[in-house]
Structure formats: C-alpha cells, structure tokens
Amino acid sequence: MISDYRLVAKSWQTPFVVLLGGCLISLVGFGARSSYGLYLGPMTLDLNWTRETFALAMALQNLFWGICLPLAGILVDRYGPLWVVIGGALIYALGTFGMTWVESSGSLYLAGGILVGTGVAFTSFSLVTAAMVRVVGVQRRSLVMGLCTAAGSLGQVLYSPITQGMISNHGWSSALVVTAVSVCLIIPLAFMLPNDPRVRDENVVHTGSVGAMREAFAHRGFLLLTAGFFVCGFHVAFITVHLPVYVSDLGLGSMVGAIAISLIGIFNIVGSLLSGAFGQRFSKKCGLSSIYALRAVTLLVFLVAPKSELTIYIFAATMGLLWLSTVPLTAGIIAQVFGIRYMATLYGFVFLSHQIGSFIGVWMGGYIYDLTGSYDLMWQAGIILGLGAAFIHLPINEQPVPRLQAE
C-alpha cells in the first residue's frame, strides 16, 4: 500500500501544487473547447456553409474525443500523464490554429473535428482527475473530482464572453489564433502533475489494464453507467454548440447566447462542487438519477415557456447546476466500485459513450434544423432521453467488486 503522496510525486509536487496544476489544465482545456459553438454563426455566414456542415465538424470533434480517450487513459495509467498531456496540447493547438485556414468542409472536419477532438482527449479533465486523486486520501476523492470539474466550468465562464468579444471586434479567425495560443499554456502546467501511475492509500490487486476492462464490462452497473453517460453527452454537446445560434434566431443578439453559455459555466461550478460533496455522503446513483430527471423537467419547461432574455438566462442557470454535476458522481462510482489504479482507462470507455451521444446531439441538431427550420424535435428528444437515464441508474450496485473487498 502506498500511504504517502511523496512516493507518487516529486518533493515539490505537494497535493496543493498537483490540485492547482490539474485545475488550471481543466480550466484552459475545457474553457477553450466550450467556446467553439460561438463560431457557428460567423463561420457559416462567411464561408457560405450550412449549419449541418459546421455541426458535423463539432460532432467529429466530440467523437474523436471519445474514441481517443480510452487510448489516452491506458497510456496515462501505464506511463503517467506528463507526455500524454503535452502531446495532446500540441495537437489541440495545431487543430485550433488550423481552423483559421479552412476553405472547405473537409479541411474543417480535419482541423476542427479530428485534430481538436484528439487534442482534447489527450488533455481531458478525466486524465487530470485520475492524476489528482492519486495524491489524496480515499475520503476526499469525490470532492477532488468535483473541484476539477468546477475548474473546467470556470474556464467556460471566462472563455465564452472573451471569445465572443474577440469575434465581434477582431473577427473569428483572430479569435481562433488567440485560443490556440492559450491552449499552449497546458504544456508547462503538465509538469505540475505527478508522473507516477501508482496510487496512494490503495492496496491494489494488479489485474492489468486488459483484466480491469474485462472485469468492468462484465459488471452490469458499469454498462448502465455507460448508457446513462450517453445522454449526458447528448444534452451537453447539443446545448453548447446550438444554444448561441438558437438565441440569435430568436432575435436576442449574439452576446445573449455567449452570456448564457457563461451562466451555464458559473452555475456548473456550484453544481459540480455540490455534486462532489453529495457523493462523499450519499448514494451516487441516486444523485445521478435525480440530475437526469431534473434535466428533463428543465428542458420541458424551457420548450413551452415564452422566450426572452430572462427565460434564456434562467434556463442557462438551471442547466448549469445540472451540467457536469454528473461527472464527479459517474467517476466516483467507477473509483468506488473498481478502484482507481485503472480509473483513467475505465472512465475513458464510459466517456466514449458520452462522446457518441455528443456526436449525435451536435450533428443531429444541425441536421434537424436544416430539415425543419426548428430545434423543437431536439428539445423533445432531450426530454425523453433524460427520463430514460433517470431510470437506468437506479439498479446500479455501488459496492466494490470482490477483488477490492478481499483486500
């Protein structure tokens, strides 16, 4: 058993340094990614594309994030996060900068879809969280997961209005260049993370990554958790990409959409911290069921309510509380049931389902709009999926697997 964080970190990598570095990486990485929906309107207008074209690029971004994350998780669990995250930051910045040169839909799919999606995967907050929880005790892991998620939300709060301001004053191409430069800040921050895959306060029976995956996929709770996270991805990605332009369609102005995205981030800071604290004391699966049910109710009320700046802001604040509050509880169940030695790997596979949902939510949003001229069918689909996710989490068994109980 590793009982001292100094055995998994260098002398200067105190828990505070590790947590600070991880939170800053999450802030930059998630903040930059959450701003891409703001480019939908200006880029499609300037380049004479349909919304489906841009939406497909963002859908590919989400899909490659999901496809690459299990590989990134395996590499982090085996070799540590340092060079994985640095490589991801370089790819992330290259893809973002490449979006300034796109002239065809194919080049947009490559730069903004495949490259950015791969870069986001290799700098993902799930990899950072796996490194952060290695230097804290078992009792604080859920709260640390909430803290890292909240930091990502703070990035969303900061990036959305700043990006919209740059787009309005300097054009979308200049805004992308600044975003690409900011992503490079992840490179020095990666050195703040411990690069040792061992785990503090966990006496692990080493099954190997293949054995850990086999064990997880044979567990019904893991499969239900994976299915539920699909719905989270559908909700989050659709709203992130399409809400700003939806607001513009209502005649409320582009800044209202940017403020709405920022409000989601602000209130998600609160929601993520509350979710992490909740997971330390109460049933995580019940928390997840409640979150998805409340999402369905929120979407229903928003669909039928009259639209104004006030209702947009109320919707954004409410969804913000429920936004990524699923992450600490989902990751917490994985850590609680399977341990954290291979947490990055297992969470990567669960998150792949999230990103498949993201792909469908983003692409279908553009497709449905181009087909019908409205997003109503997407809001309705979100309601139905939210109710389904609320029910499928209830049968999950939160008890540790026998391998951990025997230690």
CA proximity to 327, closest of 240, 398, 268: 268
In 3D space, the residue among 128, 131, 194, 204 whose CA is nearest the CA of residue 403 turns out to be 204
If one counts every other C-beta atom within 10 angstroms of the C-beta of residue 377, the result is 14
Is pLDDT of 304 > 50?
yes
Confidence band (pLDDT; 50, 70, 90) for 9? low
When mean pLDDT is compared across 170-174, 221-225, 274-278, the lowest value belongs to 274-278
The mean pLDDT of 380-385, rounded to a whole number, is 96
Q: What is the pLDDT of residue 202?
A: 47
**Torsion over CA of 117, 122, 127 and 132, rounded to 10 degrees?**
-120
Q: What is the pTM of this model?
A: 0.80
Residue linked to tokens 């995580």: 284
- Which is nearest to 220 in space by CA: 407, 401, 356? 401
- Which residue's structure tokens are 């719905």? 231
Instruction: Kindly list the distances between the CA atom of residue 165 and the CA atoms of 97, 161, 175, 177, 184, in Å, as whole numbers in the listed order.
Output: 18, 6, 9, 14, 21
What is the reported pLDDT for 197? 58
Q: Which amino acid is at 339?
A: G
77 burial (CB, 10 Å; 0-12 / 13-18 / 19+) is buried
Burial class (CB in 10 A: 0-12, 13-18, 19+), 191: middle
DSSP for 310-359 reads HHHHHHHHHHHHHSSTHHHHHHHHHHHHH-STTHHHHHHHHHHHHHHHHH
The yes-or-no verdict on residue 5 having pLDDT over 80 is: no
* DSSP H helical ranges for 138-219: 141-170, 172-183, 186-189, 208-217
Average pLDDT over residues 224-234: 95
Burial code of 219-235, b = ≥16 C-beta within 10 A, e = fewer?
bebbbbbbbbbbbbbbb
**pLDDT over 80 (residue 57):** yes
d(CA 399, CA 6): 30
200 φ/ψ angles, rounded to the nearest 5 degrees: -80, 140
Give the pLDDT band (50/70/90) at residue 167: very high
Report the range out of 124-138, 237-251, 374-388 with the highest average pLDDT. 374-388
When pLDDT is cut at 50, 70 and 90, the band that residue 201 belongs to is very low
Q: How would you class 329 by CB atoms within 10 Å of its CB: exposed for 0-12, middle for 13-18, buried for 19 or more?
A: buried
For the segment 367-393, the average pLDDT, to the nearest whole number, is 94
> Does residue 259 surpass a pLDDT of 60?
yes
Mean pLDDT across 2-11? 51
Neighbours of 374 (CB within 10 A): 12
Q: Average pLDDT, whole number, for the chain?
A: 87
* pLDDT range class, residue 389, cuts 50, 70, 90: very high
Distance from C-alpha of 180 to C-alpha of 108, rounded to nearest angstrom: 15
State mean pLDDT over 124-145.
78
CA distance 61 to 356: 11
pLDDT of 243 > 70? The answer is yes
pLDDT at 397 over 70: yes
Number of neighbours of residue 20 by Cβ within 10 angstroms = 15
Written as six digits, the tokens of 358 are: 């993201």
- What's the rounded Cα separation, in Å, for the pair 203 and 104? 53
What is the mean predicted confidence (pLDDT) over 212-237? 92
Contacts of 368 (CB under 8 A, 6+ apart): 374, 375, 377, 378
* Nearest to 250, CA basis, from 34, 41, 3: 41
When pLDDT is averaged across residues 14-23 and rounded to a whole number, the result is 89
Please say whether the beta carbons of 215 and 207 come within 8 A.
Answer: yes
- Most confident range (mean pLDDT) of 41-50, 131-140, 249-258 is 41-50
Residue with structure tokens 């909240």? 150
Burial code (b: 16+ CB inside 10 Å, e: under 16) for 346-355 equals bbbbbbbbbb
Q: Are 330 and 205 in contact (CB under 8 A)?
A: no
Q: Among positive and negative, which fits the CA dihedral 221, 120, 99, 242?
A: positive
pLDDT digits (tens, 9 = 90+) for 264-284: 888 988 998 898 888 888 899
Could you read off the pLDDT of 63-101 as tens digits, one per residue? 899 899 889 988 888 888 899 999 999 999 999 999 999
* Structural domains for the chain: 14-405 (1.20.1250.20)
Residue whose entry in the numeric block shows the structure tokens 């800053």: 24
pLDDT of residue 282: 87
* Residue 258 pLDDT level (bands cut at 50, 70, 90): confident
The residues, ordered by sequence, that sit 6+ positions from 299 with a Cβ below 8 Å of its Cβ are 235, 379, 382, 383, 386
